[in-house]
Amino acid sequence: MKESQMFDLSLRFERLVQSITELEAVADAFSLPELKDGIRIHLNTIAVASELKKRTGSDIIPTITLRDANKQSILGLISYAIFAGLENLQIVRGDPYFNEESVPKNVYDISKVSRLVTLVRKIEAHSSNSDTLCLLAPINMMILNDRKYVKTIMERQDSGVDIFVTESLFENMDKYLARVVKLRKDGVTTPLIHNIFPFRDYADAIACKQKYGWKISSEELHGLKTKGPKYGLEVAKERYYDLLDRRDIVEGVCISTRGNPELVRLITS
């Protein structure tokens, strides 16, 4: 964090409450991601999810990132999630930070998502709480031709993951859905939630591509560059309804609000 930066944690929280309240009618649950950002100060998503559930009554999905904490800390967070009565938890490995002095260290005390899922199920087995967490984990649909990666997916499924959340969708829908069919043929039966990420404009897409390594088609980048912000919204809306039209193989859709809940209403309307 830069010394000149000012932040108001209460204000951040109230904005989350407001966003959830505005979208309760169109959403089944709300995810709290932990983005790869070593500069900003992040509120702990487990604690925030607990408070949000108390304030709104909505289903909240906090995130645990293996990159950022040691085993004891992670298991403590999971125990607190169970104690707080949370029903959902997303577990991600997290892309590593580069070895620069200004960024946090990469921990990976628990290196595999499947390993942590197994530990969560063991904790639940010894807990007096009869309810079990719904565990979500990410899946990259772009590298399904890599047999080693498919094996990783199967390990996560066998360990007890309840739902897979796909990485953001930036390709032709027919090609994307063909990947879904292939995944099912490979033996993955866990439900999939498909992730839509609306770009604000061309500069936003380029920044995300550089920061997260996303593969965004030249066609989409050209559309954003020539047609502006309206194009990003149109593409996101088209993808949303294309997914809804294939409910035979699509179990659910997640839309990133990008800090602007109005986007979800515009996409789903």
DSSP-assigned states of every residue in 49-98: HHHHHHHH---EE-EEEGGGS-HHHHHHHHHHHHHTT--EEEEE--PPPP
Q: Is the per-residue pLDDT at 98 higher than 80?
A: no
The number of CA neighbours under 13 Å toward the Cβ of 223 is 15
> For 160-182, what is the mean pLDDT?
94
Of residues 139 and 1, the one with the higher pLDDT is 139
Of residues 157 and 34, the one with the higher pLDDT is 157
What is the structure's pLDDT at 251?
Answer: 97
In whole angstroms, how far apart are CA 122 and each of 104, 127, 133, 205?
30, 9, 12, 41
Q: What residue segments make up the domains of the chain, in order of their start?
A: 1-139
Phi and psi at residue 252, in whole multiples of 5°? -175, 165
Phi and psi at residue 83, in whole multiples of 5°? -60, -40
> For 208-220, what is the mean pLDDT?
89
Across the chain, mean pLDDT equals: 91
The model's pTM: 0.91
**Chain centroid to CA 88:** 12
pLDDT in tens, 108-136: 999 999 999 999 999 999 887 778 999 99
Amino acid, res. 258? R
What is the structure's pLDDT at 5?
Answer: 53
pLDDT in tens, 226-267: 999 999 999 999 999 999 999 999 999 999 998 889 999 999
CATH architecture of the domain 1-139 equals Alpha-Beta Barrel (3.20)
What is the structure's pLDDT at 1?
Answer: 47
What is the structure's pLDDT at 9?
Answer: 80
What is the structure's pLDDT at 35?
Answer: 65
Of residues 98 and 56, the one with the higher pLDDT is 56
d(CA 162, CA 180): 17
